[in-house]
Amino acid sequence: MKALIIEDAPEFVLAVAEILKEAEFEVLVAETGHAGLDVAATDQPDMIILDLGLPDLDGIEVCGRLRSITDAYIVIVTARTADVDLAAGFAAGADDYVTKPFSAIELNSRVRAVMRRARRRTDMADALGLSLDPAERSVCFSGKTAELTQTEFRILGRLLLEDGGVVSRETIAETLWGGRWDGVSHTIDVHISNLRKKLRDIGWPGRVATVRGVGLRIEELPAAA
């Protein structure tokens, strides 16, 4: 798995990188917000450690922009007392936070959360007979491959995380756009209907079911009699 550290303070980068490498992450580093956004778009890391104090862009702004291009697990780094940052960070789509000064125990628990999440997604995909390729943004069933758009891929990834449970449209919107969702749900419906068609086209026998008034669930159809 890949982790991206977006931070300009070298001693912090070194300390975080050491922990991530121990957990067998490939570590990428960007010293500015702009560079971080570029690397995130190109390399699609599984985890992003984002310091909110960056030399070029506002950290919260970077967080929101990251959320619209990646479903990486975003961990914001903030001063121990900055509750305001935390609220804004979560609204912008952050998944978790660590505080400065930096604690290895704290970061390790986030690393484990990322690994659990990746495992849950892979297990669920396996159970449904699907395999996902994040680098190619494709999904494969029984030797047939569908290329997905970034949005379709992220919706599928979010549904797989739920282990057969229902995901609300609001949750999907937050996954895609953080707190910047305009509240118009039919945009999501278009992406979902395209995703459904692509899964049908590769012959996958399951479905992305609409649970009326609640949300969506990915499910395997019972074997035909």
- Footprint of Ca ion on this chain (CB under 5 A)? 8-9, 51, 53
The CB-nearest residue to Ca ion is: 53
Which of 30/156 has CB closer to Ca ion? 30
Which of 8/58 has CB closer to Ca ion? 8
Which of 8/219 has CB closer to Ca ion? 8
Quote the least distance from Cβ 109 to Ca ion, whole Å: 22
Quote the least distance from Cβ 179 to Ca ion, whole Å: 23
Which of 7/174 has CB closer to Ca ion? 7
d(CA 195, CA 189) in angstroms, rounded, equals 10
Which of 6/167 has CB closer to Ca ion? 6
Beta strands in 122-181 (DSSP E): 130-133, 138-141, 144-147
Q: Which two tokens stand for residue 208?
A: 């992305």
Place of tokens 């050491």: 18
Measuring CA to CA, how many Å separate 25 from each of 48, 87, 121?
11, 28, 18
SS3 helix, strand, coil % of the chain, rounded to 5?
45, 25, 30
d(CA 43, CA 215) in angstroms, rounded, equals 31
Place of tokens 């118009």: 184
Which of 36/215 has CB closer to Ca ion? 36
Task: Count Cα atoms within 13 angstroms, Cβ side, for 180.
Answer: 17
Quote the least distance from Cβ 8 to Ca ion, whole Å: 5
Quote the least distance from Cβ 180 to Ca ion, whole Å: 24
Q: Which two tokens stand for residue 133?
A: 């390729």
Q: Which two tokens stand for residue 224?
A: 């035909």
Quote the least distance from Cβ 55 to Ca ion, whole Å: 8
- For 102, which DSSP code? P
